[in-house]
Amino acid sequence: MLFSRKQNWSAWILVALLGIILLRILLRAWVSEDAFITLRVVDNFVNGFGLRWNILERVQVFTHPLWLFLLTPFYFFTHEPFFTTIFVSIITTFASVWLLVFKIAKTKIAAIFALLPLIFSSAFLDFSTSGLENPLTHLLLAAFIFIFIQKSSSRQIFLLALFAALAGLNRLDAILFFLPALAFVFFTSPKKFQSCGIILLGLLPLFFWEIFSIVYFGFPFPNTAYAKLATGVSSLDLLRQGGRYFLDSFIRDPIMLPTVLAGSVFAFTARNKKFLAIVFGMLFYALYILKIGGDFMSGRFFTPLLFVAVALLSQILNSAQLKKFAVLIAIFAALGFGIHFSGSRISNETLNSFGISDERKFFESENSIAGVIRLGGIENHSWGVKKQGSCDDIELFWNVGIFGYFSPRDCFIVDGYALTDAFLARISANQNWRIGHFDRDPPEGYLESLSANQNLLVDPDLKNLA
């Protein structure tokens, strides 16, 4: 019972913290520029034009099919992108926090300590909305961890595989969190052949999507993967950029990475093989972030790591360990906050010299709730209002989200960063790149080819590629 007499004070603190985290998310709620790329597809889908960015071609411009499908029924009834997206994001975030507090955490005290890093992490608060898939990733991770810590059974194995598949549908690289846990349940199962069949059955939604993606879009992976990973940039340069991404996050959000480290350390000392499997999933995902050079949105890729870390801590921490946890967090957080408030260039800049930005801060004036109210509606956004009611045959543009959403549906928009363009995503990027923004120059004859609907490319190799 939540409000027992002996622990009435801890229950009230827990309720207060839940209220605080909800309030802080609401106060920082926003919708990012990139989210409007997905929202244009949602709008086309709802209006009967299929899962398309440009209605004349089929390109998977979104990285998160499951998140798109979650947004779609709400958008179907509202036909409003901004507040609809924020509503779905907050409900999804609160569901993940509810699972953490009432299903995963062993005690109320552990739940309180688990909530504190979430309340003070600016990245977690910012990407609890934003219109990107982070809230649904957190929810799927919470459900997976809750099931994983239960007693082993065939039903458990199936559900673990199912939630892994759903996480892969939500964002394919998130499946790295789940692979060690799935390997654990397989190798510890006395009936390996049966377990293998159950795991494959649970993974079917992801397999079916991949088949659909190949048939409908022509490729197994989102176009954004080709645009951001097949760039021609050297692996060493990306590793350096990945290191900068870790440093940037530590300076801008000093509570997040220390909590991830603390969760990993306590999981190792707990000597629980299931916890170790979760930590290995965290490690795989962290190494992946490092390898791809991180992201241009500060902290965005780290919020799933933070959520898994606090879930682990809520399971592991007992009264004897709380002091150790508090001391460990205090040491690392003090170091981070010291750098943060010492006038560090990174902590004071919206966009730093590494090409990493505080996206919410950058868009706050127009993409936050207060900003949209001040504008009189998201339709009055300065990046979108100029496009309403006008359309050239072919539009070449960069940062196409809001611009694209408010463009007439028959506009054919070519994205200079290749996120929405399958051809440009498969040619090398310019060397003067910013992480997440790998600029391509349309080759000679490309725009003319789109206008004439025939291959007019001058370069013979590119002509064969098209």
DSSP string, 213-254: HHHHTSSSS-HHHHHHHSS---HHHHHHHHHHHHHHHHHH-T
Do 70 and 218 lie in one domain? The reply is: yes
Do 134 and 228 lie in one domain? The reply is: yes
- Across the range 28-53, mean pLDDT stands at 96
Examine the fold and report which residue of 348, 371, 401 is the final residue of a domain before the chain moves on. Answer: 348
Residue 175's pLDDT band (boundaries 50, 70, 90)? very high
Q: What is the pLDDT of residues 369-408, one digit of tens each?
A: 999 999 999 999 888 765 555 666 677 888 899 999 998 8
Residue 230's pLDDT band (boundaries 50, 70, 90)? confident
Do 417 and 324 lie in one domain? The reply is: no
Does 363 map to a domain? Answer: no
pTM of the model: 0.93
Does 380 map to a domain? Answer: no
Q: What pLDDT does residue 270 have? A: 82
- Across the range 335-339, mean pLDDT stands at 60
More confident residue, 215 or 10: 215
Share of the chain above pLDDT 70, in %: 89
Do 330 and 431 lie in one domain? The reply is: no
Do 326 and 459 lie in one domain? The reply is: no
What DSSP letter does each residue of 391-459 carry, written as one string?
A: --SEEEESS-HHHHHTS-TT-EEEETT-TT-TTGGGSPPPSS-BTTB---PPPTTHHHHHHHTS---SS
Q: What pLDDT does residue 168 have? A: 97
- Across the range 52-67, mean pLDDT stands at 95
- DSSP element (H, E) containing 385: none
Do 402 and 338 lie in one domain? The reply is: no
Residue 319's pLDDT band (boundaries 50, 70, 90)? low
pLDDT of 253 above 50? yes
How far apart are alpha carbons 197 and 179 in whole angstroms?
Answer: 16
pLDDT of 231 above 90? no
Give backbone dihedrals phi and psi of 187, rounded to 5 degrees, phi first.
-75, -20
Do 331 and 448 lie in one domain? The reply is: no
Residue 4's pLDDT band (boundaries 50, 70, 90)? very low
Examine the fold and report which residue of 348, 366, 398 is the final residue of a domain before the chain moves on. Answer: 348
Residue 9's pLDDT band (boundaries 50, 70, 90)? confident
Does 370 map to a domain? Answer: no
Do 75 and 145 lie in one domain? The reply is: yes
The DSSP output letter for 196 is H
Task: State the CB neighbour count (10 A cutoff) for residue 183.
Answer: 14
Does 275 map to a domain? Answer: yes
Contact 439, 398 (CB under 8 A): yes
pLDDT of 184 above 90? yes
pLDDT of 348 above 70? no
Least confident stretch, 48-52, 334-338, 414-418, 458-462: 334-338
Do 71 and 198 lie in one domain? The reply is: yes
Do 396 and 339 lie in one domain? The reply is: no
Q: What is the pLDDT of residues 108-149, one digit of tens each?
A: 888 988 898 999 899 999 999 999 999 999 999 999 999 999
Mean residue pLDDT across the chain: 89
Q: What pLDDT does residue 457 have? A: 87
- Across the range 196-220, mean pLDDT stands at 96
Q: How many domains does the chain have?
A: 2
Does 366 map to a domain? Answer: no
Residue 333's pLDDT band (boundaries 50, 70, 90)? low
Does 373 map to a domain? Answer: no
Do 344 and 403 lie in one domain? The reply is: no
Which structural domain, as residue segments, surrounds residue 395?
389-465
Do 320 and 265 lie in one domain? The reply is: yes
Does 261 map to a domain? Answer: yes
pLDDT of 246 above 70? yes
H-type alpha helices, 35-172: 35-46, 65-78, 82-99, 108-120, 122-126, 134-148, 154-170
Examine the fold and report which residue of 298, 331, 348 is the final residue of a domain before the chain moves on. Answer: 348
More confident residue, 216 or 271: 216
CA angle 342, 122, 99 (to 5 degrees): 145
Share of the chain above pLDDT 90, in %: 64
Q: What pLDDT does residue 239 have? A: 96
Q: What is the pLDDT of residues 72-87, one digit of tens each?
A: 999 999 999 999 999 9
More confident residue, 12 or 172: 172
Does 407 map to a domain? Answer: yes
